[in-house]
Amino acid sequence: MFFISTRRTVERFRWSKMLGGKNAMSRGRKRFLLLYLLLMMILPGTQALCAENAAQKNAEISYDQQTRIFRITAADTSYIFGVNERQQLQSVYWGQRLFAGDTIAAVQSAGGSSSFDLPINATQQEYVAWGGGLYVTPDVKISFGDGNRDLVLQYVSHQIEGNHLSILLKDVQREVFVTLTYTVDAETGILARCAQVENRTKAALTVEELNAATWNLPAASDYQLDQLTGKWAGEWNLQRSLMHPGKIMMESRRGSTGDEINPWFALERGVAQGEESSDVWFGALGWSGSWQIAIEQDYAHQVRITGGYDGFDSSYRLAPGESLQSPTFYAGFAQHGMGEASRLLHRYELHTLAPQRAHWHPRPVLYNSWEATGFDVDEAGQEALAEKAASIGVERFVMDDGWFGQRNSDHAGLGDWNVNSKKFPHGLKPLIDKVRSLGMDFGLWVEPEMVNADSDLYRAHPDWVLNFPGRPRTEGRNQMVLNLARPEVRDYVYGVLDHLLSSYDIAFLKWDYNRNWSEPGWSSVAMENQKKVYVDYVRNLYGILAQLRAAHPDVEIESCSGGGARVDLGILQLTDEVWPSDNTDPFDRLAIQNGFSYAYAPGLMMSWVTDSPNWVNGRATSLLYRFLSSMQGSLGIGANLKPWTAEDFKTAKTLIAQYKQIRPIVQQGSLFRLIEPNADSPYAVTESVARDKQQAVVFAFLHSSQQGLAYPPVYLRGLDPEASYRIKVLDGSLNGAVPTSASGSFWMHYGLHFNLRGDYQAAALLLEKEGVQ
C-alpha cells in the first residue's frame, strides 16, 4: 500500500516535468529552477480556506504481481490497467471507486474479428506507438535515420513512489525507451499523465508525434461530448454533441492555446438526469503551444482520447542520449454530473496547480486603465484615475498599454520596454509612489513576446521574429511574434522584465499576447531542428515565467491573450489569474463566464465592470447589473471613472465593500450553476458555497421579464440540510413572506423566489449558517 507524498514533492515533480526533463534544460535554467524549487520547499503550501484538505483521503497505487494489474485509487475514483500477454499496457477500468477487496483478473489483448481488424487496434491500450499495424491515433510516432518508422512498445518495469507511478516501455528491438508517469491527486482523484521518449540508440531519430496519454472509456453508445469553442470577444461557448463512431480532432495550430477551441473535454453519460447526476469523464491539457486531442470511437463503441503536442508541422529530433518530454494531460471522473466535474477541476486548479503562497489571500479588487484611457496614458491622467479608484476601495491599480517606447497606437513600440519619457518624464516612480500612498499596489501591462516593425528592437534584430527568410511576414494587429525559442530572444525578454521588476515596485504584470503565429520559421538552427520551434518556444516561455517568479516571488501575473486565447492548465501553473475575454458586456459575459466555469475556477477569472453602453455591442445596463455580473469572478473595474457621478461612486463603494465580504466564497467555494444563461431563457443563477458550508452566495440575473411569468423558483444546492441558514439580501429583493432564516433543506427544496422585473435586473444574496459572523 502506498500513500500520497507531501505536496512539496508534488511541486518539485511538476516543475521538472513542465520544463521538459533534465536533458532539455540549459544550465542557467536549471539554476533558476533549483532556486524556485527551494522556494517551493520553504512555502508550506497551505491555504486558509482549504479546510477539507486537513481531512484528505489517501491516494493508493498498487501493483499485483500475480495478475500484473495496476490500481490507482483516490477520492471517489479507481483507475485500473494491466500488462497483457503481449506486454502491452491494457486499460481495464476508470470510474467510481471500487472496493480494494474486489480482485481484477489478468488482462488478455482483444482478438481482431477479421484480417482488416488487427488486434493492436481492438485492444484498449494505455500508450501505443505507431507500428505493428496501428490505425488509431498513436501516442508516439518516430522516424529513424535508416528509413524505419515502425515502433512497438512493451512493458519493461515500473516504480511506485507515493502518489507517482512510472512505467518504463521499450521498443521490441531498438533502444528507444518511453517512460510513462501517472500522478494522482488524493483530494480529487484527478490523474496527471505524461510521457518521455529517450533515444538510447547510436543514431539520431525524429519524434514526429508525441502525446501525453491515451484515456480509454467504457464502451457505450450514449456519450455526449462537451467542448468549449469561441473566437476573440466570443470565447467559452459550450458545445454539446452526441458521440458516434469516428474521430473528432480538437487542435490548435496557432503556436499557442487559442480560443477557437480550448484543450478541455468532457464526455458524459446519463445527461438527461441533469447537471448533478451524469457520469462524467473530463480532461484538459497542460500545454500553451500548438496542441491536439483526438477523440475516437470505434464500431464497438470503445472511446479513446489521446492528447499532446500538435503533430501538424512539428517534429523533434533527438540525438543519441537525448529525450523529449510530452505535455501533461490531466483527467478525472465525476459520478455527480458536470457540476461535480467542474468543482473537482476548480479545486485541483486552485489547490494543486496554481502557484501557491505561504498564506492564502483573496484576489485583490483591481482597476485597469485600458477602457478608460487606451494608449493615451500619462502621469497626471493615471494619478487622477488612481485617486478615484482608491476612493471606492480598489486595492490594485494597473496601468495598461501605452506607457513604453513610441506606443501611441498599436502601430509602434512593442519590443521597446523603456518608459516613454514624454508621458512619464520622471519614469514610473512618481505614479507608483502615488498609487502606493493611496493604499493600493501597482500593476503594469506587458506584451513581451511581440514586436512592431516600427520599433527599435525590430530595426536592430529583424531576424528575431518567427519567419521564413525571404518570404513575406504576416502581421496581426501590426505586430510579429518574437521567436522565443532562440536563446538570445529568451534572454532579452527575461532581461527587460527582470529589469522592470527590479527597478520598480510592481506587484502585478498583465502579460498579454495579442496574435497567433504565422510563417513559423527558425532559420538560425540546422534544418533538422527547425520544427522544434513549437516545443522550445513554449518551454522558454515557461522558463521565463518560472525564473521571474523565483526572482520576484511576490509578483503576481495575469495571462491574457486578447481575451481568453491562452487559458490552459500549463499557463495556470505559472500565473495567478487569467483574462477570459475582451468582451466586457455584462450580459454577454454571463454566458462567457458560465462556459469558462466548466473547465476553470471562477477564482482565477478576472472580470471588469466597464462603461455603459458597452463598446462591444452598445448595450446599456445599470451599474448594479454590471457589478453583480463581474462579482461572479475576481472583481476588477475597467470603467472610465472621470465622468462618474457622486451616486456612481457611492454605489461602487458599497458594492466593492460587499464583494470583499463574499469574495472568499466566490473565489474559493464550490460553484453550482443553478440556471445556466442560454438563448432560450431570460434567467441565469449561480451559487457559490464555502467549502465548510458555513456560507453561500447567490447571484440571480434577469434578461427581460414577461407579463404573467414570474422568476422561476431557485433551488439551492450544496448546503447542510439540517443546519439553519440566515439569509441576507445584498441587492434586489425576494417575493412574499420569506423567512429570514430556515434550514438548508428549506432553501434547497422550497427554494428562493426572486422579485425581479424589467430588463437587465440582478440580485445577490448571502446565506450564513446561524452563529457565523
Hey, which residues are catalytic here? 512, 582
The nearest distance, CB 518 to ligand GLA, in angstroms, is: 18
Task: Pick the binder of ligand GLA from 562, 586, 633, 664 (CB under 6 A).
Answer: 562
Q: Which of residues 510-549 bind ligand GLA (CB under 6 A)?
A: 512, 514
The nearest distance, CB 319 to ligand GLA, in angstroms, is: 40
Instruction: Tell me the Ramachandran region of residue 769: left when phi exceeds 0, alpha when psi lies from -120 to 50, beta otherwise.
Output: beta
Nearest to 250 by CA among 279, 290, 210, 206: 290
Q: Kindly report the three-state secondary structure assignment for every residue of 109-172.
A: CCCCCCCCCCHHHHCCECCCECCCCCCCCCCEEEEECCCCCCCCEEEEEEEEECCEEEEEEEEC
Task: Pick the binder of ligand GLA from 110, 341, 560, 697 (CB under 6 A).
Answer: 560
The nearest distance, CB 592 to ligand GLA, in angstroms, is: 13
How far is it, in rounded angstroms, from Cα 157 to Cα 569? 29
- Looking up cell 544550465, which residue turns up? 27
Return the number of the residue (562 or 744) whose C-beta is nearest ligand GLA.
562
Stretch that binds ligand GLA, among 2-10, 489-497, 555-563, 695-703 (CB under 6 A): 555-563
CB atoms within 10 A of CB 654: 16
The nearest distance, CB 547 to ligand GLA, in angstroms, is: 24
The nearest distance, CB 401 to ligand GLA, in angstroms, is: 4
In this structure, are residues 64 and 71 in contact, taking their beta carbons and an 8 Å threshold? yes
Stretch that binds ligand GLA, among 415-423, 534-542, 559-567, 750-758 (CB under 6 A): 559-567
The nearest distance, CB 143 to ligand GLA, in angstroms, is: 40
In this structure, are residues 762 and 699 in contact, taking their beta carbons and an 8 Å threshold? yes
How far is it, in rounded angstroms, from Cα 656 to Cα 203? 63
Return the number of the residue (94 or 445) whose C-beta is nearest ligand GLA.
445
The three cell numbers of residue 485 are: 525559442
| Phi, psi at 450, each rounded to 5° | -120, 165
| Phi, psi at 110, each rounded to 5° | -80, 145
Stretch that binds ligand GLA, among 177-185, 290-298, 560-568, 627-635 (CB under 6 A): 560-568
In this structure, are residues 236 and 592 in contact, taking their beta carbons and an 8 Å threshold? yes
Q: Which of residues 420-479 bind ligand GLA (CB under 6 A)?
A: 445
Burial code (b: 16+ CB inside 10 Å, e: under 16) for 99-126 equals eeeeebeebebbeeeeeeeeebbbbbbb
Stretch that binds ligand GLA, among 97-105, 149-157, 215-223, 558-566 (CB under 6 A): 558-566
Strands, DSSP E only, in 136-275? 140-144, 153-161, 164-171, 176-184, 191-199, 205-217, 224-229, 237-242, 246-252, 264-269
Return the number of the residue (409 or 694) whose C-beta is nearest ligand GLA.
409
Return the number of the residue (401 or 588) whose C-beta is nearest ligand GLA.
401
Size, binding site for ligand GLA by CB under 6 A: 11
How far is it, in rounded angstroms, from Cα 768 to Cα 741? 9
Return the number of the residue (400 or 454) whose C-beta is nearest ligand GLA.
400
In this structure, are residues 349 and 598 in contact, taking their beta carbons and an 8 Å threshold? no
Map residue 730 onto helix, strand or coil: strand
The nearest distance, CB 272 to ligand GLA, in angstroms, is: 39
How far is it, in rounded angstroms, from Cα 576 to Cα 556? 6
Give the single-character DSSP code of 539: H
Stretch that binds ligand GLA, among 179-187, 455-463, 556-564, 681-689 (CB under 6 A): 556-564
Return the number of the residue (579 or 600) whose C-beta is nearest ligand GLA.
579
Provide the mask over 326-365, with x wherever binding to ligand GLA is found by CB under 6 A and - wherever it is not: ----------------------------------------
Return the number of the residue (582 or 585) whose C-beta is nearest ligand GLA.
582
The nearest distance, CB 666 to ligand GLA, in angstroms, is: 22
The H helix count followed by the E strand count for the chain is 14, 36
Task: Pick the binder of ligand GLA from 281, 370, 598, 600 (CB under 6 A).
Answer: 370
Return the number of the residue (337 or 563) whose C-beta is nearest ligand GLA.
563
Return the number of the residue (206 or 288) whose C-beta is nearest ligand GLA.
288
The nearest distance, CB 185 to ligand GLA, in angstroms, is: 32
The nearest distance, CB 364 to ligand GLA, in angstroms, is: 18
In this structure, are residues 585 and 614 in contact, taking their beta carbons and an 8 Å threshold? yes
Helix axes 379-391, 429-437, angle to 10 degrees: 10
How far is it, in rounded angstroms, from Cα 170 to Cα 154? 5
Decide: is 585 part of the binding site for ligand GLA (CB under 6 A): no
Residue nearest to ligand GLA (CB): 401
How far is it, in rounded angstroms, from Cα 370 to Cα 451? 20
Return the number of the residue (253 or 411) whose C-beta is nearest ligand GLA.
411
Task: Pick the binder of ligand GLA from 189, 337, 563, 595 (CB under 6 A).
Answer: 563
Decide: is 558 part of the binding site for ligand GLA (CB under 6 A): no
Residues of this chain that bind ligand GLA (CB under 6 A): 370, 400-401, 445, 512, 514, 560, 562-563, 579, 582
